[in-house]
């Protein structure tokens, strides 16, 4: 009996450990930051969305810098591979490991109440990073740190209006991000609200490309196949999908940035390069370098001195003629 029990415990422990190695190995991340069981370090457990885009990689790298920025902190990292259930498992494991802070970048907005209640019951503060989470009880979230996605969508629409004017007739193709994510919902809302003033702007195509290059290309190919000669504008919820779409446009025999005006969000180097090459027209910046701010907020929470529950990152807008000069300054 006893041996059987011990075996069960060992199997369970191996499964939990394996989950973390498995999560961590995705997207080039091979190691989980070491645990602090023997030290007094404060531990942040970070449940990341995945590794779907250049933006995401930059965010992961920035947050993994935390133990280097402050040696009193340790980080446990889990890659959710774009699946909410993986993120929920990671949070439960962080609770079991009694981390000091849980940082969650939620893949989608809803469905977090139960697991965040478990964190609250375990008295572990939760910081939501980047994308937001909608919960029925606000006390489940200690702080939010991220961008205003709606504002980004508005800025993207403004880039189109600046170029063509409100009275132009335009056929717009939209590449949506991950359905149900704050980044997708907010950007779509901001853009659509802004073009309400433009009676002849029509979104003739809209589909998700899940924020990846491969899907961005695939969906753009389908758009072009059915409406290739009608599309004047491509509005992409992130750069990576636009990078894929630019390939599709070139393969179709059109000139991206000329035949089709392109705007996207993020500001990754590859997109600045494409814009400097004349293949895209506008970038709305979204800042992924959230590590230093997450550290700051975590310290404030642990010291009982949180000054602001909602922390917004500062972001810019860039047009094609600024791309060459800005390229050397890009950090992601």
Binding site for ligand GYE (CB under 6 A): 52-53, 55-56, 130-131, 183, 211, 238, 240, 265-266, 286
The nearest distance, CB 56 to ligand GYE, in angstroms, is 5
**Residues whose CB is less than 8 angstroms from the CB of residue 148 and which lie 6 or more positions away in sequence, other chains included:** 186, 312
State the minimum distance, in angstroms, from the CB of residue 269 to ligand GYE.
13
Looking at the chain, how many residues does it have? Answer: 332
User: Shortest approach of ligand GYE to residue 272 CB, angstroms?
Assistant: 14
Q: Tell me how far, at minimum, the Cβ of 110 lies from ligand GYE, in Å.
A: 15
Q: Tell me whether residue 186 or residue 228 sits nearer to ligand GYE (CB atom).
A: 186
Q: In which order are the strands placed within the sheet that holds 170-176?
A: 201-208, 170-176, 233-236, 261-266, 282-285, 317-319
Instruction: Please identify, using beta-carbon distances, which residue of 36 and 181 lies nearer to ligand GYE.
Output: 181
Residue 77: CA count within 13 A, CB half-sphere: 29
Distance CA 302, CA 12 (A): 31
Q: For the stretch 140-153, what's the b/e string if a residue is b when 16 or more beta carbons lie within 10 angstroms of its beta carbon?
A: bbbbbbbbbbbebb
Of 43 and 104, the one with the shorter C-beta distance to ligand GYE is: 104
In the complex with ligand GYE, the residue whose CB is nearer, 76 or 131, is 131
Q: Please name which of 105, 140, 144, 137 lies closest in space to residue 119, comparing C-alpha atoms.
A: 140
Q: Considering beta carbons, is residue 100 or 218 the nearer one to ligand GYE? A: 218
Nearer to ligand GYE, 176 or 194 (CB): 176
Q: Least distance (Å) from ligand GYE to the CB of residue 70?
A: 25
Q: Starting at the edge strand that comes first in sequence, how are the strands of the sheet with 126-129 ordered?
A: 73-79, 42-48, 101-104, 126-129, 143-146, 310-312
Q: How near is the Cβ of 147 to ligand GYE at its closest, in Å? A: 6
For residue 149, the minimal CB distance to ligand GYE (Å) is 7
- Would you say 277 or 315 has its CB closer to ligand GYE? 315
Q: What is the helix (H) or strand (E) element at residue 43, kind and residue range?
A: strand 42-48
Per the DSSP assignment, residues forming a β-bridge with 43 are 74
> Residue 142 and residue 298: Cα distance in Å, rounded?
10
SS3 76: strand
CB of 315 to ligand GYE, least distance (A): 10
Q: Which is nearer to ligand GYE, 55 or 77 (CB)?
A: 55
| Helix or strand run (H / E) with residue 149 | helix 149-164
**What angle do helix axes 84-96 and 113-121 make, rounded to 10 degrees?**
10
């Amino acid at each position: 009996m006893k041996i059987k029990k011990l075996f069960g415990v060992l199997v369970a422990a191996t499964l939990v450990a394996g989950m973390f190695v498995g999560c961590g190995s995705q997207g080039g991340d091979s190691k989980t930051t070491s645990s602090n069981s023997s030290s007094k370090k404060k531990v942040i457990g970070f449940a990341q969305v995945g590794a779907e885009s250049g933006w995401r990689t930059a965010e992961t790298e920035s947050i993994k810098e935390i133990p280097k920025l402050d040696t009193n902190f340790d980080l446990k990292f889990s890659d959710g591979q774009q699946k909410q259930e993986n993120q929920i498992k990671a949070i439960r494991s962080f609770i079991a490991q009694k981390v000091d802070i849980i940082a969650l970048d939620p893949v989608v907005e809803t469905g977090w109440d139960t697991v965040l209640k478990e964190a609250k019951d375990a008295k572990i503060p939760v910081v939501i990073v980047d994308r937001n989470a909608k919960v029925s009880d606000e006390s489940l979230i200690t702080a939010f740190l991220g961008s205003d996605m709606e504002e980004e969508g508005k800025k993207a629409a403004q880039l189109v209006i600046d170029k063509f004017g409100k009275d132009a007739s335009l056929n717009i193709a939209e590449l949506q991000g991950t359905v149900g994510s704050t980044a997708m919902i907010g950007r779509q809302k901001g853009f659509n609200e802004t073009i309400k003033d433009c009676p002849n702007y029509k979104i003739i195509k809209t589909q998700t490309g899940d924020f990846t290059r491969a899907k961005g290309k695939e969906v753009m190919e389908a758009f072009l196949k059915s409406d290739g000669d009608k599309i004047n504008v491509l509005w992409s919820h992130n750069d990576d999908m636009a990078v894929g779409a630019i390939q599709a446009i070139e393969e179709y025999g059109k000139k991206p940035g000329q035949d089709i005006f392109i705007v996207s969000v993020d500001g990754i180097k590859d997109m600045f390069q494409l814009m400097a090459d004349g293949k895209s027209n506008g970038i709305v910046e979204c800042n992924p370098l959230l590590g230093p701010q997450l550290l700051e907020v975590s310290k404030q929470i642990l010291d009982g001195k949180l000054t602001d529950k909602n922390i917004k990152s500062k972001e810019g807008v860039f047009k094609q003629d600024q791309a060459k000069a800005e390229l050397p300054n890009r950090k992601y």
